[in-house]
A and B are shown apart, each in its own frame.
Chain A
Amino acid sequence: MVRLYPTGVGAAAGVLTYEVDTDRELVALMDDYRRRGFVFAMHMLGNADDAADAVQDGLCAWWSQRGRVGQSPDSIAWFFRVVRNRCVDQLRKRSHRRHEVLSPEGPPDRRDPASAAGDERDEFLARLQNELDRMDEPLREILLLRDFHDLTYADIAEVLSIRVGTVMSRLHRARSKLRERMKGNLCADE
């Protein structure tokens, strides 16, 4: 028996609480979903509080659907789709566009400190970030789903409710465009 959230006190605040039978695996899975869902929602919304709301909504939906969804490997796509729908709802409500998200200031993570190679890489990543942020939303979104969130084409197709063939061609288009914009920063030909 696992209590995922304290009962009693919460109930007094009008927050319904559940006691659930579960195990470490499920807790870890949900932890993973939370973390990944938050980053995904941040990519879409650019606001951490809104992103947390979208993930919380999505997780509630996922939780209530769990019996049907099960714990199959592809259920991350189901979860992402729900979170994405929540994000789209929020974006509709507010008129302004997302602001720059991934690395608004400061150097990217995983840098190689105090080395010229590290500086060059940071510069490259900063430029990449910049160009990515300026791309059309469908192209930006699919690039992030694929390369940042590491989803398969089948998963992306489910998240975006499009065909796998469309995933393939859209990704090709997105990468070609990004490559074009990154010309000069890609030193492969030097």
Chain B
Amino acid sequence: MNDCSHIEESLSAYLDGELTQQDRQRVELHADQCDRCTQALAELTRIREGISQLRQPEPNEIQWSRMMRLTATKTSRGVGWIAGIAGGVVLAGYAVYEFATDETTDAFFKVATAALAGGVLLLLFSVLMERLHARKSDRYKDVEL
């Protein structure tokens, strides 16, 4: 068959049902008389079916519950991280400052400590909420229909 190469280019789209009726018929007419293209079609079909049967990964409960949220959990977590890190930076700066000057102010220390503790708490609470929610076995326990 001299038009094999042209037909072969269409085999993939033929399998996907994405050809026009005219092109589809042309492929079928050709394949009826061409062993080479018939074989190509069989092999491509096998590959195509094989891919559809590959194993699919499943989310665990924590991942699933995270995906259940319609709001950016990362935002609150991000705020937690930033507050925590900022607090840590301030404290570190303070330590450096104290080393350098040997003079302290109590209020400043309290604010920095509060920022650090608050950030860490927010972070922990966010993770805790996620785990608590994931423990519930029913995926739609919170949905009241």
| A residues apposed to B, CB below 8 Å | 1-6, 9-10, 12-18, 20, 23-24, 27, 34, 37-39, 42, 48-49, 51-53, 55-57, 59-60, 63, 101-103, 106, 108-110, 124-125, 128-129, 132, 143-144, 146-148, 150, 152-153, 168-169, 171-172, 175-176, 178-179, 182, 186, 188-189
| B residues apposed to A, CB below 8 Å | 9, 11-13, 16, 18, 39-40, 42-44, 46-48, 50-60, 63-64, 66-74, 76, 79-80, 122, 125-126, 129, 133, 140, 142-145
- B54 near A128 with CB under 8 A, answer yes
Report the minimum CB–CB distance from B82 to chain A (whole Å). Answer: 12
- B79 near A14 with CB under 8 A, answer yes
Contact of B70 among A24, A60, A101, A129 (CB under 8 A): A60
Report the minimum CB–CB distance from A60 to chain B (whole Å). Answer: 6
Q: Nearest 3 CB-CB pairs, A to B?
A: A52-B63, A147-B51, A14-B76
Report the minimum CB–CB distance from A181 to chain B (whole Å). Answer: 10
Interface contacts (Cβ under 8 Å), in number, total 165
- B142 near A132 with CB under 8 A, answer no
Contact of A102 among B40, B57, B129 (CB under 8 A): B57
Sample of 9 A–B contacts (CB below 8 Å)? A3-B142, A3-B143, A15-B73, A23-B145, A27-B140, A143-B51, A171-B13, A179-B43, A188-B46
- A5 near B63 with CB under 8 A, answer no
- A175 near B142 with CB under 8 A, answer no
- B12 near A172 with CB under 8 A, answer yes
- B16 near A27 with CB under 8 A, answer no
- A16 near B71 with CB under 8 A, answer yes
Distance in angstroms between the alpha carbons of A6 and B73 in the assembled complex: 14
Report the minimum CB–CB distance from A169 to chain B (whole Å). Answer: 8
Find chain A residues with CB under 8 A from B9 CB.
169, 172
Find chain B residues with CB under 8 A from A108 CB.
53-55
Find chain A residues with CB under 8 A from B56 CB.
39, 102, 109, 148
Report the minimum CB–CB distance from B84 to chain A (whole Å). Answer: 13
Report the minimum CB–CB distance from A24 to chain B (whole Å). Answer: 6
Distance in angstroms between the alpha carbons of A13 and B9 in the assembled complex: 56
Given A15-B69, A60-B71, A188-B39, the answer on whether A48 and B60 have CB atoms closer than 8 Å is yes
Distance in angstroms between the alpha carbons of A146 and B78 in the assembled complex: 36
- B16 near A146 with CB under 8 A, answer yes
Given A49-B63, A152-B18, A179-B47, the answer on whether A5 and B69 have CB atoms closer than 8 Å is yes
Distance in angstroms between the alpha carbons of A102 and B58 in the assembled complex: 10
Distance in angstroms between the alpha carbons of A48 and B80 in the assembled complex: 23
Report the minimum CB–CB distance from B72 to chain A (whole Å). Answer: 6
Contact of A39 among B57, B143, B145 (CB under 8 A): B57
A42-B57, A48-B57, A172-B12 known; 10 new pairs, CB 8 Å cut-off, are A12-B125, A15-B73, A34-B59, A39-B56, A56-B67, A57-B74, A128-B51, A132-B54, A152-B18, A172-B13
- A24 near B145 with CB under 8 A, answer yes
Find chain A residues with CB under 8 A from B145 CB.
2, 23-24, 27
Output the nearest chain B residue to A101 by Cβ-Cβ distance.
B57
